[in-house]
Structure 1
């Protein structure tokens, strides 16, 4: 009997603490009868023991293969895997995510019933410990993310972008691979490329996974700084943002900074900066109360600083990105190092 082959692709670098659990989770996926699995892990030249653990897994299970990713960024790792993949369907899975045992089955079912070019589940975050729990709760909230449907756990339907992704091989043949000029936002750019050309990106609430967000405010700030920085490069490529909400943090940080600077010579601008800051403070307090009401009031003291970190990091990163884009500069190497 001819088997249908599914390719799982995963980029990684220095993931010694997670790689074994990830491989076990993929190997434990409940696959339909007649489906064969291959797992391609693109390692970004890890130096913490990850490569040795991957080599052991590959030797023990022929379904697993390790691919070198000397550029050490996600987009190049994904592309090297896709180039080698033999499956008619390609499923992306990341190492910092926990998956239901029917994750791949539900991805395949969503492709079958929708005919979409890309499908995925909602971006569900959970944390351990007070700070990471607050970061996860803010991550999930429309008050912080501007109502992104990819964070709506019950949404079933078209979206502008989706967490991870599952594609028929034909999607990459038609629309191309990931943009290797992008250290971050390569998935958003690829999905924007699809939707601009009339393809459907579909989110299914039946595809269940759990993402582990950053553990500290410093890690969160660096992550959001990078996410914000790379957005203008995506916008320059396509002449538009994937969603207007992506512009809000940068606009707020710019307005506040400009008001503060003008306030040095024009008192009215200084009063405007105070008013803007106060209004944002009220918003952060209201958002914190709304999130705590749903997720637990024990998070309330941490939520304001978490929300400000999300917005300030993303907004400042966006301004730095526009500064380089408008001057026609190449992306800064300072924003090219992956963070965790």
Structure 2
């Protein structure tokens, strides 16, 4: 008997990438007894993506596309889940490349572990030999950059608090109510948190292999992590507790520096404490950046990795601070945080 696995894909303005992505996912190697369908939820693209999707669907009946008028990721995912017909649901994103057994490994892990959600490590790809992209990729995969998250450890197999992308049984997603559509970002983390708080397990398998293409500029990296920090407040507010204490560290760092800077004109102790805190952070960032990018071999990339750490941590901390203002005091999301960035 053949079992169907549905790949669900949120998409918006991906005309330059959707063709290569579709070719990759449709070339997945599946074991006997497993068939594939791909459901792309397009968020009202205006760059020609919809025409490309129509052509791809006409060329291969395994691919379908549906409309996502809300233009946000959680709505795209829920609409795709509703349209999917498979017993298994595997999420994919366009800006990621996948091993040709990615879908098969996801289904195998779900069967072997009995976990409610499975996925692979969040591996950052190096897309060119310049300075910025390799530095961002190195920072993204660093335990210092990610706060020690197990989902960035490429060799880790076992229980985690969240995974990259994710795969589930369809009935599990329906029972959980799908993704929280109020969360523009972090909806995957929130779903994983619901699973764990409900007694289920989230499992990472190192055999589930993919490579994510990170942001190509420091400003884009900062904006990405600003949104992560901003929407983490909404997740914490919903569950009354962070999934991990590490989610609070960047905000604590930024808040402490801000208080010390404001007090510095009137207090020498505050000025000295702020300078020491910055020096300690800079020393740690430069020392850890030297592991993937030794300064005697890659001096500019070494400095760029350290700067990428700062963009990630400052972006997250400042986004978290703004999230506290909007979600806790104003009780509504600000307009600048509801548009996804790339």
TM range (shorter): over 0.9
Encode CA deviations 1:266-310: one digit per residue, 9 max, x unaligned: 23212211121111111111121233249x735213112111111
The partner residue of 1:331 within 326, 330, 333 is 333
Aligned to 2:320: 318
Mapped pair 1:46 → 2:45: yes
Give the aligned partner of residue 199 of structure 2: 198
Q: What residue is the counterpart of 1:304 in the other structure?
A: 306
CA distance in 1, matches of 2:243, 2:43: 28
Q: How does 1:1-340 map to 2 (within 5 A)?
A: 2-129=1-128, 130-293=131-294, 297=298, 299-340=301-342
How far the C-alpha of 1:264 sits from its partner, in A, is: 2.4
TM-score, with structure 2 as normaliser: 0.96
Secondary structure of residue in 1 paired with 2:70? coil
CA contact (8 A) 2:286 2:303 kept: no
CA displacement, residues 66-114 of structure 1 (integer Å, 9 cap, x when unaligned): 1101111100000000011111100001100001111111111111110
Find the residue that maps to 1:213 and give its secondary structure. coil
Extract unaligned runs of 5+ from structure 1: none
Alpha-carbon distance between aligned partners in 2 of 1:209 and 1:281, rounded to the nearest angstrom: 31
TM-score by length of 1: 0.97
Distance 1:36 1:273 in 2: 58
Structural RMSD (CA)? 1.3
Query: Which SS does the other structure have where 1:219 is aligned?
Result: helix
**Equivalent residue of 2:183, what SS?**
coil
Of 167-176 and 144-153, deviating more is: 167-176
Query: 1:144 & 1:37 partners in 2: Cα distance?
Result: 36
Gaps of 5+ in 2: none
* C-alpha contact (below 8 Å) 2:286/2:302 kept by paired residues: no
Q: Secondary structure of the residue that 1:292 maps to in structure 2? A: coil
Structure 1 distance, partners of 2:73, 2:34, is 27
CA–CA separation in structure 2 for the residues paired with 1:137 and 1:60: 38
Once residues 267 and 229 of structure 1 are traced to their aligned partners in structure 2, the CA distance between those partners, rounded to angstroms, is: 33
Moved over 6 A (4+): none
